[in-house]
Amino acid sequence: MGMAFSFFSVVVLMLVVYLGAGVAGWHYLFGVIIPYAAIVIFLAGMAYRVIKWGRVPVPFRIPTTAGQQKSLPWIKASTFDNPSSTAGVVGRMALEVLFFRSLLRNTRMELHRGPRLAYHWEKWLWLGGLMFHWSFLLIFLRHLRFFTEPVPAFVSWLEGIDGFFRFGLQGLYITDIVIVVAVTYLFLRRVVIPQVRYISLPADYFPLFLILGIAGTGILMRYFFRVDITAVKELTTGLVTFRPRVPAGIGVLFYIHLFLVCTLGAYFPFSKLVHMGGIFLSPTRNLPNDSRARRHINPWNYPVKVHTYEEYEEEFREKMKMAGLPVEKV
């Protein structure tokens, strides 16, 4: 039910734009008002989440460790799995954000006849996640050509490498194929594996269908149903410079694509996708494990009246003697 609900939700979003094509002023609504509203919701939502995370007290060092901690000089410490310095934390975060190092080391447990436990390396989940995130990033960077003038050199360089292969007379972007394959794999994994399907919610399926819709409409515009690129760039540069203007003749397919992108942006801060920012604020990842080298005192501690052992013994000395308990003062 969750999968069906998410799928039809994305279909409804696409139909809203398609059916609204005959309404007066719909170009300005879907080309200007909704993109600006999505940006405001995204920025406000991300700011709210970051401030909320930042206000959570972290009085202790609680990094997730998976290796030898730095201790005696003759014991080899694990630099990235158990970092004890800021440089080690930066290296660990870089490996996690760029290459999903912890997911690469993930294993899956299975119970076989015997009974016998077997552990399998979950390399396909790591590969699918890596393909999806990197292709999404490259596609995002490629789209900067619609918002900048002149186009940065690195964007043109990325386009040249990404579009090395040819599809007819135009370049075939490798990332277009990779992102569809990766998202399809992540979707099928949730459907095929019973344990994953059991814990999957509409919030897990909806972003997948939404991204598939964005990628699908983008591919259709790129290779099958051409749109006026000059008019599209005129619209996007007008949005960036806060001088919005909606040129004629862009086509409804572009507005469907843009509306799905706006939906993803507005939905982002309130979904599981917000882990993009949350990973940098996770105390299990961004703290060095130096508890043996430094004494960490809880900064939220406030002075309280304590009952020391000397005071305790002074109060109960006679009773402790009668009970046969040792005392420091006779």
112: left (phi over 0), alpha (psi -120 to 50) or beta: beta
Distance between CA 183 and CA 205 in Å, rounded? 11
Residue 108 pLDDT exceeds 80:
no
Do the strands 107-112 and 116-121 form a parallel or antiparallel pair, or are they unpaired?
Answer: antiparallel
| Phi, psi torsion values for 329, nearest 5 degrees | -110, 130
Q: Is the pLDDT of residue 190 over 80?
A: yes
- pLDDT computed for residue 148 by the predictor: 84
3-state secondary structure of 43: helix
- Per the prediction, the chain carries an average pLDDT of 87
On the question of pLDDT at 184 being above 80, the answer is yes
Which range has the worst mean pLDDT, 125-129, 192-196, 247-251?
247-251
**Chain segment 213-241, per-residue pLDDT in tens:** 999 999 998 888 888 888 888 889 989 98
- What tens digit of pLDDT does each residue of 130-172 get? 999 999 999 999 999 888 888 888 888 888 888 777 766 677 8
- Average of per-residue pLDDT across 28-50: 92
At 210 the pLDDT is 94
Cα–Cα distance measured from residue 157 to residue 265, given in angstroms and rounded to the nearest whole number = 26
Flag whether the pTM goes above 0.75.
yes
Give the C-alpha distances (Å, rounded to integers) separating 247 from 13, 27, 31, 229, 235.
23, 9, 10, 11, 7
pLDDT digits (tens, 9 = 90+) for 65-93: 888 888 888 988 888 888 988 898 999 99
